[in-house]
Amino acid sequence: MSDLFMVPTGPLGPWDQLSENEKAWIEFIRVISGGRDPKVTPARVRALRELLDAG
């Protein structure tokens, strides 16, 4: 099952070299995770997809 998910290594380069979209996604993930670094699980991926598709 590990081939279904790609674990991100994090943004490369300094913060000021990231695109506005990359910065927004990082902030979004920080907000919804409460500042934690949650482990990626299939259930969490499904829950996030449901939240994003609800709008």
Digit-coded pLDDT (tens) for 7-20: 666 667 788 888 89
Taking 3-state DSSP, the helix, strand and coil percentages for the chain, each rounded to the nearest 5, stand at: 55, 0, 45
Higher per-residue pLDDT: 5 or 29: 29
Q: How many CB atoms lie within 10 A of CB 34?
A: 7
Domain boundaries, the chain: 15-54
The pTM of this model reads: 0.46
Position 3 confidence tier, pLDDT thresholds 50, 70, 90? low
Query: What is the average pLDDT value for the chain, to the nearest integer?
Result: 80
Position 42 confidence tier, pLDDT thresholds 50, 70, 90? very high
